[in-house]
Structure 1
Amino acid sequence: MKKWKWIGMAMACAVGMVAFTSCDDDDNDDYARVPDAVTAAFSHQYGNPGYVEWDSERGGYYVAEFRKDGRDHEAWYTQAGLWAMTEVDYGRSLADLPQAVQSGYAATAYALDAWTVDDIDEIQRPDYETVYKIEVEKRGQADHDLYFDLGGTLYRDVEGSGSGSGNGGMIQQGMPAEVKAYVDSAFAGAAVVDFDIEDNGMIEVDLRHGGKSVEVLFTAAYEWVMTKTDCSRDVPAVVADAVRQALPGARIDDCDYVQTATESYYLVDTDNPDRDLRVTPDGQVTQAW
């Protein structure tokens, strides 16, 4: 994907013809004609952007590769013509990302430790908030895919996928009804950022609610386990005072508010590399490490 075969394709299809001209793709011998429902959905969503190359992917998806607003796009559709995802390629241009995402990346250990940005994708999906994937690499280290929400929060860090791994796994099949019902009730009006089933069967839902990034964790049986809200440096005064007393001169770098069925507390990261704190809402430091 993301390879434009202009020369080879031009021999079979005339550039500038109707955008939905079908031609064989050398990378897909089993390529079949794109269904009318798919081309109609694409036309309704993107009009006629010019030259379009169609590809087929596992799972029965049809993918339109095209350029729009100066960037390479890949729009994914089901066989029935339902839009599933669009990827927008930003190359390595951090400066073109929303300011919040730029700032979020700049605050990560990868930016501070001078990792190299290898590729950036904007990922759009129905019913989910737009996210940005920044692929980073460093000699002698495994590559990492870093996922940011629109607030600039790094909500997922995946090791070892490598450049060009594709985003087909980002297509969502929908949350279980029990999980969706909990989210709709507890976080009314929230924007769903992502949904993931982890290797151990636990379910993670990432949200944007009340201007904050929220991670909600469920068991494989759809039982709520934990909610973690990103507070950045915005903590209650009593928590800030507790940090100052425990670590004089230390600065809060980041903080998460954690809620479980039995307790609530703040996990405070400080600029002291050897000391982070766990603080109760009433300002009691219960753990330091």
Structure 2
Amino acid sequence: MKLKKFAFLLALSAIWSLQSCDNNDDESLNVPVELQNALSSKYPNVTNVKWESKAGYYVADFYDQYEISAWFTQDGIWKMTETDIPLSALPQEIQYSFENSEYYLTWKVDDVDKLERDGFEIIYVIEVEKQNQEVDLHYSANGTLIKSIVDTDNDEDEYLPVQLTEAIKNFIYKNYSNALIMEVDIENDRNDKYYGYTEVDIIHNRIHKEILFDSNENWYSTSWEVHKNELPEAVRNVIEKQYKEYNLDDAEYIEKANDTKYYRIDLELGETDLTVNIDSDGNVIP
């Protein structure tokens, strides 16, 4: 009986040790000199630093007006800094955009983060919640809502940047000069038709655009939102004549690698939603 009890305790100890390796905030964490030098180089005035390991990275937690976490690779390369800021510290453009969003009056702000990441523009994330729902709102510094993501987990490394290949970066900078790269996502749902595709969010000529690349890094499509008054007259005429009983909910312009170009129009009538694709000449296409 004692032998069984000892074996059980030994197994528990092994499990605890494995879990500790994934997320170690022990004060005895052995931090290489290269990492400490990298932190001092980027943040020369910080003190009282607490190191921990998360998802294979070394994370330096410290306080400098706000709570800050700086993420480094094991060889001392900085990848991300996450700063926990109050809502009032957001740029005015973001505050204005959020206050005019559907989330402002009925959702509660749970957290606000400023994200600085290697190779990307600064992103601000407002985490809102309502009952059992949580949504992360990603904004650019000029107040553009880049995306809203339903938060279904609490992955601590969810904001780490996905590194773009040279082929994708070259395509973006060649075709969208002076573009600002904001976000990168790779579809990992095997049931999704775009599994393995890479989506890159950019700001180009002050317009938020989504660029999609297939699993072989070939350009697949680019899309961006357009306002009703920006739609070609031929497109507006089709909507007003053929779908006059519907309300226009959303519209975006899409161009694909197969040279297809059209406007995707989202319409609604009560509880009924309808999506229609119309080219610039007013032709409804499948």
TM value normalised by structure 1: 0.74
- Cα distance change of structure 1 residues 151 and 259 upon mapping to structure 2, 3 Å threshold: farther
TM-superposed CA distance for 1:204, in Å, is: 0.7
Counterpart selection for 1:170 from 159, 174, 191: 159
Whole-Å separation in 2 of the counterparts to 1:268 and 1:151: 26
Kept in 2: contact 1:243–1:277 (CA 8 A): no
The AA in structure 2 aligned to 1:89 is D
Secondary structure at the aligned position of 2:263 is classed as strand
Q: What's the % identity of the aligned pairs?
A: 30
The AA in structure 2 aligned to 1:152 is G
- Cα distance change of structure 1 residues 264 and 145 upon mapping to structure 2, 3 Å threshold: same
- Pairwise mapping of residues 84-163 of structure 1 onto structure 2 (< 5 A)? 84-91=79-86, 93=87, 95-111=88-104, 114-139=106-131, 141-162=132-153
Residue range with higher mean Cα deviation, 273-282 or 225-234: 273-282
User: What per-residue deviation string (whole Å, max 9, x for no partner) do you get for residues 12-65 of structure 1?
Assistant: xxxxxxxxxxxxxx9634853322222222222222134322222221x22121
**Is 2:63 the counterpart of 1:67?**
yes
For structure 2, the 5+ residue unaligned runs are: 1-22, 189-194
Which residue number in structure 2 is paired with residue 256 of structure 1?
A: 252
Counterpart selection for 1:266 from 254, 263, 266: 263
Q: Which has the higher helix share?
A: 2
Kept in 2: contact 1:268–1:279 (CA 8 A): yes
Whole-Å separation in 2 of the counterparts to 1:31 and 1:204: 40
User: What per-residue deviation string (whole Å, max 9, x for no partner) do you get for residues 221-252 of structure 1?
Assistant: 22222111233556145255655556669886
**Is 2:28 the counterpart of 1:35?**
no
Which residue number in structure 1 is paired with residue 14 of structure 2?
A: none
- Pairwise mapping of residues 12-23 of structure 1 onto structure 2 (< 5 A)? none
Which residue number in structure 1 is paired with residue 19 of structure 2?
A: none
Residue range with higher mean Cα deviation, 233-242 or 217-226: 233-242
Counterpart selection for 2:184 from 195, 201, 212: 195
**Which structure: larger Rg?**
2
Query: Aligned-pair RMSD on alpha carbons?
Result: 3.1
Secondary structure at the aligned position of 2:230 is classed as coil
User: What per-residue deviation string (whole Å, max 9, x for no partner) do you get for residues 115-161 of structure 1?
Assistant: 2111111111121011122212111x432222223343333333243
TM value normalised by structure 2: 0.75
Kept in 2: contact 1:132–1:147 (CA 8 A): yes
- Cα distance change of structure 1 residues 283 and 123 upon mapping to structure 2, 3 Å threshold: same
- Cα distance change of structure 1 residues 172 and 151 upon mapping to structure 2, 3 Å threshold: same
User: What per-residue deviation string (whole Å, max 9, x for no partner) do you get for residues 164-186 of structure 1?
Assistant: x2552322352123322322222
Whole-Å separation in 2 of the counterparts to 1:122 and 1:234: 33
Kept in 2: contact 1:118–1:137 (CA 8 A): yes
**Is 2:256 the counterpart of 1:280?**
no
Whole-Å separation in 2 of the counterparts to 1:232 and 1:96: 30
Kept in 2: contact 1:278–1:286 (CA 8 A): yes
The AA in structure 1 aligned to 2:53 is S
Whole-Å separation in 2 of the counterparts to 1:75 and 1:28: 14
Whole-Å separation in 2 of the counterparts to 1:153 and 1:270: 23
Kept in 1: contact 2:109–2:126 (CA 8 A): yes
For structure 1, the 5+ residue unaligned runs are: 1-25
Secondary structure at the aligned position of 1:143 is classed as strand
Kept in 2: contact 1:145–1:161 (CA 8 A): no
The AA in structure 1 aligned to 2:118 is P
TM-superposed CA distance for 1:105, in Å, is: 3.1
Whole-Å separation in 2 of the counterparts to 1:107 and 1:276: 25
User: What per-residue deviation string (whole Å, max 9, x for no partner) do you get for residues 175-221 of structure 1?
Assistant: 12332232222222211111111122111111111111111111112
Counterpart selection for 1:78 from 69, 73, 77: 73
Kept in 2: contact 1:104–1:153 (CA 8 A): yes
Kept in 2: contact 1:31–1:55 (CA 8 A): no
Whole-Å separation in 2 of the counterparts to 1:96 and 1:243: 42
